[in-house]
Structure 1
């Protein structure tokens, strides 16, 4: 990484936000720096960045088939870094609006589907035959509506969750791998299934150096999870996130059955997923939940 990349990285850190947001922003500016260097653009300071440089980057990303929602986020990161560097004029330039760049009109509707039971069973059986630890992570993700990172780091909470289930608690606290590092509470939809999955995961972990995914660090564990999940059939519309979609739909039905209104049920599921109660409409839109 050159001088420009290093300067942008420092600025990206200073923009603030959660650990994940900062990390994502750093990756974006590094990609932008790499794009300019690949084109042999000889600039070394953020003060030298021109409108055409950012246009060129976004058009290349569009040509690569990167989604508009993703590119809106990338532009937001680049604007934040430019603002941080005092380049407000460039950050707010009319040629760099989402509309001018051809990024407007992207839908937040969920692009993936809730995994269907037959496909889930097939993937789980394949995982059990290949790697019991991976299968345990997969099962917890489906039964608790976990993000991939939460599922991969779930081994750290297995005993706490097991004790909570034994006490008769109706909710479990998710701490590790959450977005922004904010703990969240999620409702137990099927106590028997969750208890069985936790007992199994603990047994697997005890025979695997207290790990479910036997990798030395989080990055290699996440890479392994994503690669293996795709090989087993969790890809496209049925990505690992489809497990969370299916859980969200189950949770909606759970709350409706308890007598909550649809609006209340959506708000409850939004909180269970870690989005906050004000994002019920978002949950309905992104997770495509009925009810």
Structure 2
């Protein structure tokens, strides 16, 4: 039987892509991790809303103008969006320009030229309050306690902790054999696998945290029992906040405490501050070239507070 369409039958028109989709497609001319894609999509959605409000028409990375980019920046400033967020958004938009073959424009529309405010890269976050943490661990449910301990004693990001059920047995074997590193693979930012150093004096507590998490997974498939990743993050955030791990003592303060411990270990081993920060950056999954950033965003506020 012939499957050809009858002569003269109207062909189904292709649905035009949205502004957001056009920018997203152009921005993916090179690889991007899941988190980066999510952030870019948020940027392009915001820009698409702006373009429709201003009636730019079917704007895309091949037609967008410097004036339109400047108008977008002005709107974001007026809306009270933080400088760092606007800087990130412009980075995403420039990436789409380059993907559309407009590298010259991408290089020309600098933050200064577009009026993007300068933001500081110095964070105000400090390590978790140890007295609060001790009380939280007493009050936490068994599975929540395991989540907290993994983030605090292994320095895991939230996504890495949620996905850690895939690695717990390997980590247990490694530390039980006396190895100094665990390999963080699942949930790692931008898919960057790393080896995280666990100092000898902290190995037993890290091993205890892993075994507590393994005990949770003997009763269910996942460490965080939720239907999807978004629900898992919401569940963890809600449990932590209910226990008091919020604000200055949010979940990220647990990672800062891990960083502080490793930093002081490296200094005690005779490394310079620069070397110690580079190694902490590696342990946290930021690479060895971001030591100054690690100091400003993970440690500075804590040590200044103690001074």
Interval containing the TM-score (normalised by the shorter chain) = 0.7 to 0.9
Matched residue, 2:286:
275
Deviation at 1:21, TM superposition (A): 2.5
1:172 is paired with a residue whose SS is strand
Matched residue, 2:277:
266
Which of 104, 110, 121 is 2:123 aligned to? 110
Deviation at 1:250, TM superposition (A): 0.9
1:256 is paired with a residue whose SS is helix
Q: Under a length normalisation based on structure 1, what TM-score does the superposition of the two structures give?
A: 0.86
Q: What is the rounded CA distance, in whole Å, between the counterparts of 1:281 and 1:104 in structure 2?
A: 22
Deviation at 1:72, TM superposition (A): 0.7
Q: Deviations over 1:214-259 (max 9, x none)?
A: 1122222123223433343333333321111111111111112222
Deviation at 1:138, TM superposition (A): 1.5
Q: What is the rounded CA distance, in whole Å, between the counterparts of 1:145 and 1:122 in structure 2?
A: 20
Does residue 223 in structure 1 map to residue 238 in structure 2?
no
Structure 2: stretches of 5+ with no match in the other structure: 1-15
Write the mapping of 1:181-200 to structure 2, written as runs, cut at 5 A: 181-189=191-199, 190-200=202-212
Q: Do the aligned residues in 1 keep the contact of 2:26 with 2:96 (CA within 8 Å)?
A: yes
Q: What is the rounded CA distance, in whole Å, between the counterparts of 2:172 and 2:143 in structure 1?
A: 17
Structure 1: stretches of 5+ with no match in the other structure: none
Q: How many pairs were matched up? A: 284
Q: Do the aligned residues in 2 keep the contact of 1:15 with 1:80 (CA within 8 Å)?
A: no
Q: What is the rounded CA distance, in whole Å, between the counterparts of 1:77 and 1:32 in structure 2?
A: 11
Q: What is the rounded CA distance, in whole Å, between the counterparts of 1:231 and 1:57 in structure 2?
A: 38
2:128 is paired with a residue whose SS is coil
Matched residue, 1:55:
70
Deviation at 1:35, TM superposition (A): 3.3
Matched residue, 1:73:
88
Deviation at 1:150, TM superposition (A): 0.9
Q: Do the aligned residues in 1 keep the contact of 2:74 with 2:115 (CA within 8 Å)?
A: no
- Would the alpha carbon gap of residues 111 and 41 (structure 1) be closer, same or farther in structure 2, given more than 3 Å must change? farther
Matched residue, 1:119:
132
- Would the alpha carbon gap of residues 103 and 116 (structure 1) be closer, same or farther in structure 2, given more than 3 Å must change? farther
Q: What is the rounded CA distance, in whole Å, between the counterparts of 2:156 and 2:286 in structure 1?
A: 13
- The RMSD of aligned alpha carbons is 2.5
Does residue 27 in structure 1 map to residue 42 in structure 2?
yes
Q: Do the aligned residues in 2 keep the contact of 1:12 with 1:26 (CA within 8 Å)?
A: no
2:182 is paired with a residue whose SS is strand
Write the mapping of 1:107-256 to structure 2, written as runs, cut at 5 A: 107-126=120-139, 128-129=140-141, 132-189=142-199, 190-207=202-219, 209-256=220-267
Q: What is the rounded CA distance, in whole Å, between the counterparts of 2:144 and 2:27 in structure 1?
A: 34
Q: Looking at CA atoms only, which structure, 1 or 2, has the larger radius of gyration?
A: 2
